[in-house]
Structure 1
Amino acid sequence: MILIVDDRPENLISLQKVLQAHSFEVDTASSGEEALKKVLKNNYVLIILDVQMPDMDGFEVAETISGFSKAKDTAIIFLSAVNTELKFITKGYLSGGLDYITKPVDINVLLLKIKTFYRIYEQNRKLNEVQEKLLEEIEFRKQAEHKKDEFISIASHELKTPLTSVKGYIQLLQRSLNRDDKTMAQNHLEKASTQLEKLNELIVDLLDISKIESGKMKFNMKSFCADNMVNNAIEMLQQSNPDFKISKLGKTDEMIFGDEMRLEQVVINFITNAIKYAPGTNQVNVTTNIKDEKLYLAVKDFGIGISKEQQHKIFDKFYRVEDNSNRFNGLGIGLYICSEIINRHGGTIGVNSVPDEGSEFYFIIPTTEEEILKNQI
């Protein structure tokens, strides 16, 4: 849009009609003060500014506009019938004008200049868009590189910890066998097995994320009993965490369609995290129900919780809650894998949490093949 500023109505009307006849969108102001108010409210590609005006001349208006960040890309053309001397033309350029035209005006020349300014404005706009996209891409690549380096560091540490423990327990096991202390040997063997299981879980997660990234994560979709799947997950984790009471609320005898092993993997991850991030507590609730051909499953703990700001990032790849990254081990990929599994089932995954009161992780998936396919489209 073009803003014409002139204190003489006849000049405004005549120039406005000419520009509108050439398909330009035009706005007008009859004083410098009115022009400044309009510049603050609207975006203009070009301002055609009369020099000789009462109260506030064109130079003062241009100098003021040049201080507006909103108008930093707006071009200014001065028009003057009186101030045609070189010193005034020079002052016009120093005041922020890109051109200074004296009257009488050759309308064809003015139109060519206006079209040129429009073309320059459009080119600058596109260049700015490209520059912003490039900056966003650079920022994304810096963050991605940082996350990758951080992940490699974390993964190296997490993998090394159980390996070091296994090595230590094997050495202790050897000494116990040399002393023929079978009880102690059995104890060391059990602890080494626990560490090997942790190592196996880490490797499985790494393999899963690799499959997700390459699009090779396979799903064995078939009908199965949802209740059996949930019960199996609870039974396994209850045995390995006897100090915790894992309560199941609700019953889901119906058959559902999906990958039983992958969905059980999600339930196990939810319960494992509920136990892990709730030190000092001993209760985890697993709620299930089926309604309107959708399975709802939620795992609630009464632990440390997650802040509102971090909840929307919790399913991102490699994300670890900063406050707890040094207190709890993990690669920051378990929940990301869970979200990918639920997405492949055409479902939704989420969390409700209050710091220091606990968290409830949940997912909702269709129970029929038709609904899964419909939600994946």
Structure 2
Amino acid sequence: MILIVDDTPENLISLKKVLERHNFEVDTAASGEEALKKVLKNEYVLIILDVQMPGMDGFEVAEAISGYSKAKETAIIFLSAVNTELKFITKGYSSGGLDYITKPVDMDILLLKVKTFYRIYEQSRKLIEIQNALLDEIEFRKQAERKKDEFISIASHELKTPLTSVKGYIQLLERNIDKGDIETVKKHLGKAQVQLEKLNELIADLLDISKIESGKLKFNKKHFVMDAMLDSVIEIINQSNPEFKIIREGKAELEIYADEMRIEQVVINFLTNAIKYSPGTSEVHIKLSADNDQIYLGVRDFGIGINEAQQKHVFDKFYRVEETAIHFQGLGIGLYISAEIIQRHGGEVGVKSILGEGSEFYFTLPLNQEKETD
């Protein structure tokens, strides 16, 4: 927008009409004081400022405007019918003006200057946008690098832990085999198997991340009943966590078209997280429902919960809730992989949580959808 400042009404009207005919948005002020009030409220690309005005003259107005952080970059063109001497033109520039036009105004020259200033303004704005985008991009590279370094450190630790445990159990096995203590051998074998399963899960997650990044995560979709798959998952979880009671709420005896193994992977991830982040509790609830369009599955725990600010990040790659990172192991990629799987099936993931009261992680999947989304 352009602001024209002149104490002569006919000058305001004529300049405003000419500029508006050339599709410029124009505002006017009849005094320096009025101009300053408008500059405080509005943003202007250009101010056309008369020098000879009662009260504050144009030079004083320009100097005042240059002191406003909001408007100090605004271009100013001075108009003057009297002060055409070099010293006055110099004063105009030193007051913050970028150009000086004498009256009577040659409208063609004024229009040319206005268009030039607008073009410079647009170019400057684009340069600023590019600069800001580059700064954001650099900051994103830095954050990504920090996350990568953090992830490598965590992954190294997480992979090393089960490997160290397996190595220890093998050494114990060697000693007990020599002694012929079969019961102890069986016990150590069972513990080593648990650690190997952990290692296998970590490696599987890393492979999934690699497939997602390279666009090679494929799905084997078919029709299956969610209820039947859920029974199988609950049986698996009960075997490894007999101390937890998994309570089902609702049914969905309908077929969906999806990759059963991948959907099972998501449900297992939700359930194992619910148990992992619920120390001191003994129940996890699974909510299952369906309508004509979609199926809903939610896993509700009564554990530590997640604060509102962190909830929007829990499905981000490598994200680990800060308060829990020290106490609970994990790579911070399970939920990211789960989100990718569900979204690639045309569904949605989400979380509802209250800090200290527990969380409900859920996903929805469309029913009767056979169109490939991967």
Query: Could you say which TM-score interval applies, normalised by the shorter chain?
Result: over 0.9
Partner of 2:47: 47
- CA positional deviation for 1:261: 0.7
Instruction: Find the aligned partners of 1:326 and 1:354 in 2 and give their Cα distance.
Output: 20
Aligned partners of 1:141 and 1:264: how far apart in 2? 34
Q: In 2, Cα distance between the equivalents of 1:255 and 1:85?
A: 88
Instruction: Measure how far apart 1:33 and its partner are.
Output: 1.6
Out of 277-286 and 360-369, give the one that drifted further. Answer: 360-369
Structure 1 residues 40-79: aligned runs within 5 Å: 40-79=40-79
1:176 counterpart letter in structure 2: N
Amino acid paired to 1:41: K
Alignment partner of 1:288: what SS? Answer: strand
Pair 1:213 & 2:213 matched:
yes
Could you list the per-position Cα deviations for residues 55-85 of structure 1 after superposition, in whole angstroms to 9, with x for gaps in the alignment? 2121221122222333243200111223333
1:128 match: 128
Q: Deviations over 1:178-235 (max 9, x none)?
A: 2222222222211111111100000011111111111111111111121110011111
Alignment correspondent of 1:313: 313
Q: Is the 8 A contact 2:246 2:284 kept in 1?
A: yes
Deviations along 1:345-367, whole A, 9 cap, x unmatched? Answer: 21111110000000001111112
Backbone CA RMSD of aligned residues: 1.7
> Which residue identity lines up with residue 336 of structure 1 in the other structure?
Y
Q: Determine helix, strand or coil for the equivalent of 1:43.
A: coil
Residue of structure 1 equivalent to 2:183: 183
2-side partners of 1:2 and 1:289: how far apart? 59
3-state SS, counterpart of residue 243 of structure 2: coil
Instruction: Specify the code of the residue in structure 1 equivalent to 2:78.
Output: F
Contact in 2 for aligned 1:73/1:121 (Cα 8 Å): no
Equivalent residue number for residue 255 of structure 1: 255
CA-CA distance at 1:34 after TM superposition: 1.3
Q: In the aligned structure 2, how far is the partner of 1:173 from the partner of 1:87?
A: 99
Judge which range, 35-44 or 217-226, deviates more: 35-44
3-state SS, counterpart of residue 196 of structure 1: helix
What do residues 102-155 of structure 1 show as CA deviations (whole Å, max 9, x unaligned)?
Answer: 333333332222222111111111111211221221122111111111111111
Q: Which letter maps to 1:15?
A: L
Contact kept, 8 Å, 1:62 with 1:95, in 2: the verdict is yes
Alignment of 1:299-338 (within 5 A): 299-338=299-338
Once residues 112 and 240 of structure 2 are traced to their aligned partners in structure 1, the CA distance between those partners, rounded to angstroms, is: 81
Partner of 1:164: 164
| Structure 1 residue 333 displacement after superposition | 0.6
SS at match of 1:56: coil
1:140 matched to which residue of 2? Answer: 140
Cα distance per residue 1:315-342 (max 9 Å; x no partner): 1111111111111111111011111111
Structure 1: 4+ residue segments shifted above 6 A: none
Question: What SS is found at the alignment partner of 2:318?
Answer: coil
Q: Cα deviation per residue 1:150-170 (whole Å; 9 max; x = unaligned)? A: 111111111111111111111
The percent identity for this pair of structures is 71
SS in structure 2 opposite 1:209? helix
Q: Tell me the matched-pair count.
A: 374
Secondary structure of the residue aligned to 1:71 is: coil
Choose 292-301 or 246-255, whichever is displaced more: 246-255
Asked if 1:36 is matched to 2:36, the reply is: yes
Q: Which residue pairs with 2:229 in the alignment? A: 229
Q: Secondary structure at the residue paired with 1:152?
A: helix
Deviates more, 1:160-169 or 1:171-180: 171-180
Whole-Å Cα distance in 2 between the matches of residues 76 and 194 of structure 1?
Answer: 75
Q: Which residue of 1 aligns with 2:288?
A: 288
- 1:257 and 1:112 map into 2 onto residues whose CA distance is 65
Unmatched runs of 5 consecutive residues or more in structure 1? none
Q: Which runs of 5+ in 2 are unaligned?
A: none
Q: CA 1:268 to 1:102, structure 2 compared with 1: closer, same or farther past 3 Å?
A: same
Contact 2:292 2:367 in 1 (8 A): no
Q: CA deviation at 1:276?
A: 0.1
* Equivalent residues of 1:258, 1:367 under 8 A apart: no
Quickly say closer, same or farther: Cα 1:290–1:11, change in 2 above 3 A: closer
Cα distance in 2, alignment partners of residues 234 and 346 from structure 1: 25
Q: Normalization by structure 1: what TM-score?
A: 0.94
Structure 1 residue 172 displacement after superposition: 1.5
Find the counterpart in structure 2 of residue 85 from structure 1. 85
Which moves more between the two structures, 336-345 or 24-33? 24-33
Deviation at 1:15, TM superposition (A): 2.3
What is the alpha-carbon distance in structure 1 between the residues aligned to residue 283 and residue 271 of structure 2?
Answer: 11
Contact 2:233 2:267 in 1 (8 A): yes
Shift of 1:343: 0.9
- SS in structure 2 opposite 1:369? coil
Note closer, same or farther for the CA distance 1:256–1:23 as it changes in structure 2 (3 Å cut): closer
1:27 aligns with 27
Mapped to 2, the partners of 1:259 and 1:109 lie a distance apart of: 70
Q: Give 2:8's aligned amino acid.
A: R
Structure 1 residue 295: deviation in Å? 1.4
SS of the residue 2:28 aligns to: strand
